[in-house]
Chain A
């Protein structure tokens, strides 16, 4: 594949990643957010495979495989199970209205484009829109965490935010050392598993609404 083709494909994948992110932000039900984040991970895996064929970096194939199995199948399945086990209300209840979240999202996207334009030399070294899209994805993931009331929403947000970091790292460096990437993936797996167990345990004694944590301060 020529560099131009790769750039176009990565750009297109970036647009689709942003679209799944918007779906997560606007999801009215937690199931839909989980499916959207699984689709997002699938796109990340495809991006890794594309970069692997383009650069001939075998590490990226490993990354694509791990992303596909762990983030597209296993983690969404765990989250899905947690939702079913908890019998929570499936509606997402955000702290601020969804319309306000979407307006904030627009600002984040525009801001990250401006931000990466001011980076100058760094920006020139990177192909296409990968950098601004990656920054936007990371920040939007944080936005999901900030506006979600339940721990489940925050898991989805963390997950999405990590996808953004991953996309940026991959597109910017054309493949980081394998050990770092695996470290990042392990981080997220651990975080999600720990949070899943915590949510299930906490749920059996108190409500999993993190708004209640306010009253914990001494």
Chain B
């Protein structure tokens, strides 16, 4: 078991790694989806090309938008990337200086969500307002459940700091799974599509008014601003997947100080993310988008699972 602290340099490397890898995960999910649907599909690097194109373009802005609107994409990206710094990637262990825990991570993600909605409302578009109102309706159903899942594992470890929590669980994760972990993980599987904005809760491919939640809020953004928002949602996705792997599969090399350990840690993390991404792609290909009024029922399964996991842990 490793208990070594993670230095500032390692944390910065992990954060950069997450941000750089975010679009690739989206690309892989798109590719798997295309293959399942018997299509060739765009290359896995397509999200990078999209981002590069957007960052070269100029910005068009609605007349009704205030000065805050221009700042929104940068703020959202900053909040999401900051959340990424709290995820242990290469190896477990607490950071060597006080940084923050899973609660701060969820808070930063909630802040990013709030800022996105504010931006959509600020531009004054009808679609943006619609998307924002729907996103804000679903957020209170997702965030508390996510918090309960975190608590249900944190209670056992005695800490909410993700690195320390992962170290606590050790490397033999599947043998160490307590009964509550099964239910917590089941809740997480229900929440993942909601948190990453995918079917059956949201549809990431269209701006149609019937399906849009997250995409509807991005309609008014353009050029580098839209690029920032897209990069933020790629990062949010990989951060959420990273959170799952830190909570439930904290496998990694024992002593990641040297280059070989670092490489092994990166490989293990990539494998875990790939498995979770394939799960998302499979769900997205095999289910239809739920009616908006059915979504609370779907998320209710996650809520009950998370609460039962807590009950198993505490009572």
> Is this pair of chains taken from one and the same complex?
yes
Binding site for B on A (CB under 8 A): 8, 11-12, 14-16, 18-19, 22-23, 25-26, 28, 98-99, 102, 105-106, 109-110, 113-114, 117, 128-129, 132
Chain B contributes a number of interface residues (CB within 8 A of A) equal to: 23
Interface of A is mostly: helix
Q: How many A-B residue pairs have CB under 8 A?
A: 67
Residues of the A chain whose Cβ atoms lie less than 8 Å from the Cβ of B311: 109-110, 113
Residues of the B chain whose Cβ atoms lie less than 8 Å from the Cβ of A132: 315
- Of B294, B301, B315, which one neighbours A23 at CB under 8 angstroms? B301
8 pairs from A and B in contact (CB 8 Å cutoff): A15-B180, A19-B183, A22-B304, A99-B300, A106-B303, A109-B304, A117-B315, A129-B312
Q: Is the CB of B300 within 8 A of A19?
A: no
Chain A nearest CB, measured from B76 CB (Å): 31
- B182 interfacial contact with A, CB 8 Å: yes
Q: Is the CB of A102 within 8 A of B179?
A: no
CB within 8 Å for A105 and B297 given contacts A12-B179, A14-B179, A18-B183: no
Residues of the B chain whose Cβ atoms lie less than 8 Å from the Cβ of A102: 297, 300-301, 303-304
Interface of B is mostly: helix
CB within 8 Å for A99 and B307 given contacts A12-B179, A15-B180, A110-B315: no
Residues of the B chain whose Cβ atoms lie less than 8 Å from the Cβ of A114: 315
Q: Is the CB of A11 within 8 A of B304?
A: no
- B268 interfacial contact with A, CB 8 Å: no
- B178 interfacial contact with A, CB 8 Å: yes
- Of B177, B186, B294, which one neighbours A19 at CB under 8 angstroms? B186
Chain A nearest CB, measured from B283 CB (Å): 15
- B296 interfacial contact with A, CB 8 Å: yes
Q: Is the CB of A106 within 8 A of B307?
A: yes
Chain A nearest CB, measured from B201 CB (Å): 15
Residues of the A chain whose Cβ atoms lie less than 8 Å from the Cβ of B296: 99
A150-B312 Cα distance, complex, nearest whole Å: 32
A110-B183 Cα distance, complex, nearest whole Å: 15
CB within 8 Å for A109 and B307 given contacts A15-B179, A99-B296, A117-B315: yes
A146-B311 Cα distance, complex, nearest whole Å: 24
**Residue of A with least CB distance to B306:** A106
Chain A nearest CB, measured from B307 CB (Å): 5
Q: Is the CB of B297 within 8 A of A11?
A: no
Q: Is the CB of A16 within 8 A of B301?
A: no
A183-B142 Cα distance, complex, nearest whole Å: 45
Q: List 7 additional A-B contacts (Cβ < 8 Å) besides A18-B308, A114-B315.
A: A14-B179, A15-B308, A15-B312, A19-B305, A26-B301, A99-B300, A109-B311
Q: Which of A22, A23, A113, A128 has the most CB of B within 10 A?
A: A22
Rank and list the top 5 A-B pairs by shortest CB-CB distance, nearest first. A15-B179, A113-B315, A11-B179, A15-B182, A102-B300
